[in-house]
Amino acid sequence: MIEWMQTHRKWLVITIWIATIAFIGAGFVGWGQFQFGRKSSTVAKIKDTEVSIQDVQEVYNNLFQEKNRQLGGILDDATAEKMGLKKQAFDMAIQQGILRQYAKDLGMYITDEEVAKQVLKYFKDKKTYLTYLKQTGQKAKDFETKLKKQMLIQKLLTALHFTPSKTLQLTFASALYNSDNLEIKIINKSSLKINLSEDKIKAFWEKNKQKYQSPTMYKIAIVKTPIKGVATENDLKNFYNENKTDYRNNKGEILTYEKVKDKVKKDYLAKISKKDAVIAYKKLKEGAENYKLLTLTLNNSVIPSEKMQKLIQRGYLKPFIDNDEYISAKLVEEIKPKPLPYEKAKALVAKDLFHIKTLQALEDKAKEALKGFNGIKTGFVTKYDANKIKGLSPEEATEFLFTEFSLEKNKNYLLIPAINPQKAVVYKILEQKLLDKTKYEKNKKQVAAMADATLNAALLDDLIKDLMAKYNIVSYVK
């Protein structure tokens, strides 16, 4: 059931549309250039409904937080924009505006009393509500205006909601819980024997030599300035007292001088040595030959990759600390990639050719087995019965079953996983059942909820398309 939901997430967008309390966390982002003659906060208008930049920002924040949660908290605004979250937020905010206008055209509205009741549902009392506003830096008027917009959409969606019939629920359940009685044979790629001669490897290299290039290299002028100096006990204690908030444990508690004395000394000497490092860096920029010339790739053991990227972009790298010294650098030359000679490329060529030949052999063996095989009978399985497929990991079995049920072939083979296959699963369908009633009865409530959500998401999608064609949408963002 979870796997199905993960592949049919569209209905979850509704929850983002009507999320009532905005998430806080994503920074405020730019939304393009505005045309003159409009309020600076308005990005679009549908009849008499305005879509504000705050509306777009709120949707963006919700999308950002959801995607950030999925990625384990590593998302930043630059990556989010590359993923298209900015455009998605703008489009969704426009769609929200369309729905609000449609609700108005139907004579719907939200009263102040309804807003007050909704606020009390969320915050229980006025004191908690005011505390929330203070903590998030919002005015009551702005929050309640935003809430009213969201409640209007919710009222519209509630009025338009369709409950799927029992027949539709059963149809939905049949799609989820139809079952196949399979006979399968699993062929492991690791069991195949592939022999590569020197001639075959070299011939493959001749055809593909442009693929095997040396990495981009960089001639770098590097200056290293050692961290050194003399520090008295009094110097260290004064430095600690000035910077003690930097020395904390995992609980956020400030550590005593005695516990961090070695770290304090290291930081103090780094501070007094920085002047020499800056002087050396300035001399390097001015053309002094105070450097050591190295040829490095982007990933090397001398300069961290993120520092190398800055160096490549800017041409210079200001002093940074690495172990017990400062390092500054200047980019002298970028050496473009070129085809590797055979001897240097041979290991990579052999690896690629082995992969190609093994995959080809795996597929050939699966095709041969398909002509007639005596496999293992699984009994009746649905796409959620990965545990019944012996010889495959749970992930492999899940991929196999979901793919098998999506195809209309009663005899076939699948390479698993689809990306970098390690096994071939040859199968034939012995019998089929349209609905596994045991599975359906066990998950009846979930099926009903999913049928409801899927039906209403599809209807909402059609409604928005019709309204976009009906309304004149004026955008003020270039």
Q: Is the peptide bond before 417 cis (omega within 30 degrees of 0)?
A: yes
* Cβ pair 276, 327 in contact under 8 A: no
Q: How many secondary structure helices (H) and strands (E) does the chain include? A: 17, 11
pLDDT at residue 445, rounded to an integer? 87
SS3 of residue 243 by DSSP: helix
* Residue 115, H or E segment: helix 112-123
In the numeric block, the tokens 């005695």 are attached to 258
445, burial (CB in 10 Å: exposed 0-12, middle 13-18, buried 19+): exposed
Tell whether the model's pLDDT for residue 203 goes beyond 70: yes
pLDDT tens digits for range 205-242: 999 999 999 999 999 999 999 999 999 999 999 999 99
Residue 476's pLDDT band, with cuts at 50, 70 and 90, is confident
DSSP 8-state class, residue 21: S
pLDDT at residue 423, rounded to an integer? 96
* Cβ pair 133, 140 in contact under 8 A: yes
Pairing of strands 217-226, 42-46: unpaired
Amino acid found at 456: N
Q: Which two tokens stand for residue 31?
A: 């939304």
Residue 478's pLDDT band, with cuts at 50, 70 and 90, is low
Residue 294's pLDDT band, with cuts at 50, 70 and 90, is very high
Distance CA 254, CA 249 (A): 7
pLDDT at residue 155, rounded to an integer? 94
On average, the pLDDT of the chain sits at 86
pLDDT tens digits for range 140-174: 898 999 999 999 999 999 999 988 888 888 887 87
Distance CA 248, CA 118 (A): 43
pLDDT at residue 415, rounded to an integer? 96
Tell whether the model's pLDDT for residue 11 goes beyond 50: no
Region 282-295: mean pLDDT is 93
Distance CA 379, CA 366 (A): 22
pLDDT at residue 165, rounded to an integer? 86
Residue 278's pLDDT band, with cuts at 50, 70 and 90, is very high
* Residue 398, H or E segment: helix 394-406
Virtual torsion, Cα 109, 115, 116, 118, nearest 10 deg: 130
* Cβ pair 390, 187 in contact under 8 A: no
Region 33-61: mean pLDDT is 76
pLDDT at residue 37, rounded to an integer? 38
Tell whether the model's pLDDT for residue 39 goes beyond 60: no
Q: CA nearest 312: which of 297, 324, 323?
A: 297
The residue among 404 and 35 whose pLDDT is bigger is: 404
Region 443-452: mean pLDDT is 85
Region 42-64: mean pLDDT is 89
The order of strands in the sheet holding 179-188 is 376-381, 179-188, 423-433, 411-416
Q: Domain spans of the chain?
A: 2-164+447-475, 179-197+342-433, 215-335
Q: Considering all CA atoms of the chain, what is the largest pairwise distance in Å, rounded to the nearest integer?
A: 87
Distance CA 373, CA 176 (A): 29
Pairing of strands 325-335, 217-226: antiparallel
Contacts of 350 (CB under 8 A, 6+ apart): 196, 201
Distance CA 53, CA 45 (A): 12
Residue 421's pLDDT band, with cuts at 50, 70 and 90, is very high
For the domain covering 2-164+447-475, report its CATH number.
Answer: 1.10.4030.10
Tell whether the model's pLDDT for residue 83 goes beyond 70: yes
Lowest mean pLDDT among 85-94, 183-192, 213-222, 345-354: 85-94
Distance CA 156, CA 283 (A): 69
**How is the chain split among helix, strand and coil, in percent rounded to 5?**
55, 20, 30
pLDDT at residue 5, rounded to an integer? 39
Residue 436's pLDDT band, with cuts at 50, 70 and 90, is confident
* Cβ pair 201, 349 in contact under 8 A: yes
pLDDT at residue 40, rounded to an integer? 53
Question: 213 has which bridge partners?
Answer: 339
* Residue 129, H or E segment: helix 126-136
Tell whether the model's pLDDT for residue 45 goes beyond 60: yes
For the ranges 4-8, 329-333, 404-408, 444-448, the one whose mean pLDDT is highest: 329-333
In the chain, % of residues over pLDDT 70: 91
pLDDT tens digits for range 304-337: 988 999 999 999 999 999 989 999 999 999 999 9
